[in-house]
Amino acid sequence: MSSYDVSAVRSSFPILQHEVHGKPLVYLDNAATSQKPEAVLEVSRHYYERLNSNIHRGTHHLAQEATAAHENARELIARHLNASSAEEIIFTGGATDGINLISSTLGYSGKISPGDIIAISNLEHHSNTVPWQMLCDRSGAVLEVIPVTEQGAIDPADFDHLLEKTSGRLKVLALTHISNAFGTILPLAQMIESAHRAGALVVVDGAQAVPHLSVDVQKLDADFYVFSGHKVYAPTGIGVLYGKHSLLEELPPWRGGGEMIRKVSYDGTTFNDLPYKFEAGTPNIEGAIALAAALNFLNELGLQNVSNHENEMIRRAADALTSIRGLALYGPSDRSGSLSFNIDGIHHYDLGTLVDKMGIAVRTGHHCCQPLMNRFGITGTLRASFGCFNNEDDVDRLAEAVEKGVEMLR
């Protein structure tokens, strides 16, 4: 058994004291959005009660305090990702916002030309698919897709084949770190190294990885890495784009407005230095500060401890569910974060609705991965996704609810 004190962790999350349909809440939808611990809620409240002010340009006391807290958050996030400097950390509205920023500015920069190749995998969330399709439509580039195996993983031979087929034309490789639908962990370090040898830039969607793994962007050698605050125990509406300094310097601004400028006249505008060049307008100040608090919360627990505990819960859930007749699990056995499954002859939405009536929050549907669902000939799955606070009782109640729901629907 793990020495992880999950009872103490659970006591940090007020929402877990609530009931749903008269039953104690079992929250297993962390891949969609995470719940917030007291440490984060207190920081958010403190900001609005004690610091609330616009930042960077004010000379008064509150403005200076808010600016310091916001930029301290940037520094902490840079250390958390092992970025080489805080200038490489751009605050965004979330992972989707960050991917759109990169895809758009790559298009504006002239780096993508007709006939160039942009590659993604069949595991990608729509947020790491549609922006690249849009860039292809605008630029004349071609989208290529790395297939997945029956186990929901990437076969290195398929990736090597794509590199050979696109030799000299591959400009961008955009990959998830961990699949939100199946929990598949991609072998990113090797794929990034191979893509760089082929002359491609690599963009990583880390929305599902940052809550579960220690991410070192320098070790990975990712060119760009994005994640969302709300997946990692912080508020919605805040995210991070990490980019290598030299690449961010090369790219043009995305949005125009205040803060991203150095000087404005009707004859022309000069743009601000990094990271502010990409942060037009008043930022989500509270969100950035709360995101830093969320990462501090995780670091105090120990990311390895969290990962070990969550993986133990996923294995327990997989073992408990496999006794159900007609159950199909998706993804490899060494999955992270999420457990996706279906029951033969039962629609995922119907079963998910019944499970909800028993107080269990799981996600049903295509999980914003319609091409992946099409690959497996399904419309969607039930997905139980785990966080630092889930315990054995949550897993047992999930299994009991699914079994009972199956009995009612057969």
CB 80 within 8 A of CB 299: yes
Q: CA-CA distance, 119 to 187, in Å (whole number)?
A: 16
Buried b (16+ CB within 10 A) or exposed e, 96-131: bbbbbbbbbbbbeeebbeeebbbbbbbbbbebbbbb
Alpha carbon distance, N-terminus to C-terminus of the chain? 36
CB 238 within 8 A of CB 284: yes
Residues 6+ apart with CB under 8 A from 89: 74, 77, 78, 81, 83, 240, 241, 242, 275
Handedness of CA 329, 373, 335, 18 (dihedral sign): negative
CB 324 within 8 A of CB 403: yes
Handedness of CA 387, 391, 392, 396 (dihedral sign): negative
- Strand (E) positions, 163-215? 170-176, 201-205
The pair of three-digit structure tokens given for residue 104, joined into one six-digit string = 């758009």
CB atoms within 10 A of CB 134: 14
**Catalytic site positions:** 368
Buried b (16+ CB within 10 A) or exposed e, 238-277: bbbbbbbeebbeebebbeeeebbbeeeeeeeeebbebbbb
Tell me whether strands 360-361 and 338-343 are parallel, antiparallel or unpaired: unpaired
Q: CA-CA distance, 243 to 277, in Å (whole number)?
A: 13
Burial of 216 (0-12, 13-18, 19+ CB in 10 A): middle
